[in-house]
Amino acid sequence: MSIDSTTTHVPAGRLGDAALSLGTDPRADPRMIAVMEPFGLLAHAEAAPMDRRAGREQLLGFAAAAEEGFEGLFGALAAAWAPITGVSRETRSIIGDGGHEITFYVHRPERVEGQLPLIYHVHGGGMVMLAGGGPLYARWRDELAAAGAVVVGVEYRNGGGVLGPHPFPAGLDDCAAGLRWVHDHLDELGGTHITLTGDSGGANLVLALAIKAKREGWVEQIAGVHAHCPYILGTWDDPPADLPSLRENNAYWLNVALFPLLAEVYDPGAGNANEPTCWPLRAMVDDVHGLPPHVISCAELDPLRDEGIAYHRLLLQAGVPSVGSIVLGICHVGQIMFREAMPDVYDTAVREVLGFARSVNP
């Protein structure tokens, strides 16, 4: 067999062709394309309407508008999904240290005896928008519960949007207070041990929770951490060369130019730009050494893909058991977005989180 030595390798995505979009990239799963096309989400995502110096009022307005758009999309996606049966749902609340209410959504499988793994769920939204009570996340917790876990979702204070404005560390503090409460009531809730899971901004928060717990001396309360598509860099104004997905997949549903705006809402003035509990990719080996096992699940066509890969490699360097994966053909958090169109991808994500939760039983 002869090899054509003149063949040139073309880099993936927009590194090879700036005109490629989510809808024309040959790597894109056609089932995802079919779902996103009616929403007009296949062309290049819009650029930022301002920069991070626009002022807090305008940035909060931007976050509120973005929240409305994302919640509308997620609601439309979930509206077509058949309801889950065999799961009980309960809402509880506690009072946080600042006198504010922290709400929990507790999902349990019905007609199951004995204690089960408990999955502590932190919703996404860049830490500045969306809600745990939204349809996408309520369904995700239902699916995990139906598969055989107690699932507790925490409604934390966002940096912006309807549940804001509460910049860092308010949301992280709420997640930590909620986690400590869940641990103290583990028997009552029917759990054996606690695994954390979150996507995007929620992945930021579960990774940060583990670092915070280590610093404060209660990391043994966390048996494992599962993160989908972590949003953890913190400074996207000049994307680093060692994270090529920020250019390769830029404007594939998410425009990287929007990230600095959301980061400014979460961390005004970038006062915590190098703080690992704000932006976990700023962590060093010593920050993560001794953490419990992790799974970092990334999406091939996500601008944030390489942030997750970099964090996985940091964990391995520190001796932390970690499994890293890339789900082919999907966009940011596509693991949990396409329940009807891509049931194999969705069901695999459910099995992966639950299987991991079972495997880390102390």
pLDDT of amino acid 309: 98
Has residue 13 been placed in a domain? Answer: no
**What sign for the dihedral angle of Cα 260, 263, 264, 269?**
negative
Has residue 47 been placed in a domain? Answer: yes
Has residue 328 been placed in a domain? Answer: yes
* Enclosing domain of residue 114: 18-359
Cβ-based neighbours of 308, under 8 Å, separated by 6 or more: 203, 227, 229, 230, 232, 296, 297, 298, 324
Query: Rounded to the nearest 5 degrees, what angle is found at the Cα of 125, between the Cα atoms of 124 and 129?
Result: 130
Has residue 1 been placed in a domain? Answer: no
> Tens-of-pLDDT digits for all 362 residues of the chain?
333 444 445 578 888 899 999 999 999 999 999 999 999 999 999 998 999 999 999 999 999 999 999 999 999 999 989 999 999 999 999 999 889 999 999 999 998 989 999 999 999 999 999 999 999 999 999 999 999 999 999 999 999 999 999 999 999 999 999 999 999 999 999 999 999 999 999 999 999 999 999 999 999 999 999 999 999 999 998 889 999 999 999 999 999 999 999 999 999 999 999 999 999 999 999 999 999 999 999 999 999 999 999 999 999 999 999 999 999 999 999 999 999 999 999 999 999 999 999 999 87
pLDDT of amino acid 263: 97
pLDDT of amino acid 270: 96
pLDDT of amino acid 238: 84
pLDDT of amino acid 9: 53
Give the number of domains in the chain. Answer: 1
pLDDT of amino acid 97: 87
Tell me how crowded residue 84 is: count the other CB atoms within 10 A of its CB.
Answer: 15
Q: Using alpha carbons, select from 178, 246, 315, 352 the residue that is nearest to residue 14.
A: 246
Assess contact for 293 and 88: CB atoms under 8 A.
no
Has residue 8 been placed in a domain? Answer: no
Has residue 326 been placed in a domain? Answer: yes
CATH code, domain with 79: 3.40.50.1820
* Whole-model pTM over 0.85: yes
Has residue 12 been placed in a domain? Answer: no
Has residue 10 been placed in a domain? Answer: no
Longest dimension (CA), the chain: 73
DSSP strand E in the chain: where?
A: 87-95, 101-109, 116-122, 150-155, 191-199, 224-228, 294-299, 322-327
Residue-wise DSSP of 95-163: E-TTS-EEEEEEEEETT--S-EEEEEEE--STTTS--TTSHHHHHHHHHHHHHH-EEEEEEPPPSSSTT
pLDDT of amino acid 235: 92
